[in-house]
A and B are shown apart, each in its own frame.
Chain A
Amino acid sequence: AQKVTQAQTEISVVEKEDVTLDCVYETRDTTYYLFWYKQPPSGELVFLIRRNSFDEQNEISGRYSWNFQKSTSSFNFTITASQVVDSAVYFCALSTLFGNEKLTFGTGTRLTIIP
């Protein structure tokens, strides 16, 4: 069975601070994908990133960066110089390959950026 754990239920930081959201996963599959989604107060889920299990390179996209470490089964997400618009619930998710895109979601981390 697959499992995604986001131990941080809620985080609050002051604007312009950096913040890291943790994600730990469990799977017996050797090939899999990891995702991060953002859910702003409006409710829709916004795709942020997909990373496959063979690619452990860290990725940076603007103020966002992701650290994938297979050795610790972690896929952490860092926001640099946070902004109020980053306030949202962030979900980490896992799926296996072979054309099956069913996602197993973590419980989410509610991030509040304080102006």
Chain B
Amino acid sequence: SAVISQKPSRDICQRGTSLTIQCQVDSQVTMMFWYRQQPGQSLTLIATANQGSEATYESGFVIDKFPISRPNLTFSTLTVSNMSPEDSSIYLCSAGSSGANVLTFGAGSRLTVL
């Protein structure tokens, strides 16, 4: 299965700033997703990162707040814009190949917004 590297692994941010999280996969994958895990909670899908086109967002998530890029089959970024303390979460990148139906997850990026 693919190996996923995410950075930063953690960061402390100031309210109103933006932070970009990078996700690098060691092999070409069809599907890439971004999840959010709020403290003590389960994982919620933010969006599907589509290669070469706009991401597909889940209900409750919008592009202005969480812009996503995916320039190729191995790399994606998620930006958390205009952060507030409510954005303090772990953000996880996941990837898989179509038909394989097994998602691999990165170690997550733990953001704390003050």
- Say yes or no: B108 contacts A102, CB within 8 Å: no
A104 contacts which chain B residues (CB < 8 A)? 45
B98 contacts which chain A residues (CB < 8 A)? 99, 101
- Say yes or no: A97 contacts B103, CB within 8 Å: no
Neighbour of B105 across the interface among A33, A45, A108, CB < 8 A: A45
B26 nearest CB across to chain A (Å): 15
- Say yes or no: B31 contacts A101, CB within 8 Å: yes
Neighbour of A91 across the interface among B33, B42, B107, CB < 8 A: B42
Question: Does B84 belong to the interface (CB within 8 Å)?
Answer: no
| Chain A interfacial residues counted at CB < 8 A | 22
Question: Please, how many angstroms separate the alpha-carbon atoms of A105 and B46 in the complex?
Answer: 13
A108 contacts which chain B residues (CB < 8 A)? 42
Question: Does B53 belong to the interface (CB within 8 Å)?
Answer: no
B45 contacts which chain A residues (CB < 8 A)? 102-104
Interface residues of B in 27-85 (CB under 8 A from A): 30-31, 33, 41-45, 48
B12 contacts which chain A residues (CB < 8 A)? none
Q: In the complex, which of the residues B33, B100, B105, B106 has the most CB atoms of chain A within 10 Å of its own CB atom? A: B105
- Say yes or no: A102 contacts B33, CB within 8 Å: yes
Question: Does B104 belong to the interface (CB within 8 Å)?
Answer: yes
- Say yes or no: B108 contacts A44, CB within 8 Å: yes
Q: CB-nearest residue of chain A relative to B56? A: A102
B23 nearest CB across to chain A (Å): 13
B100 contacts which chain A residues (CB < 8 A)? 101
Question: Does B92 belong to the interface (CB within 8 Å)?
Answer: yes
A36 nearest CB across to chain B (Å): 12
Question: Does A50 belong to the interface (CB within 8 Å)?
Answer: yes
- CB within 8 Å for A107 and B99 given contacts A43-B108, A101-B31: no
- 7 A-B residue pairings within 8 Å (CB atoms): A35-B102, A44-B105, A44-B108, A50-B101, A99-B30, A101-B103, A103-B94
The 4 A-B pairs with the shortest beta carbon distances in the complex, nearest first, are: A45-B105, A99-B98, A44-B107, A105-B43
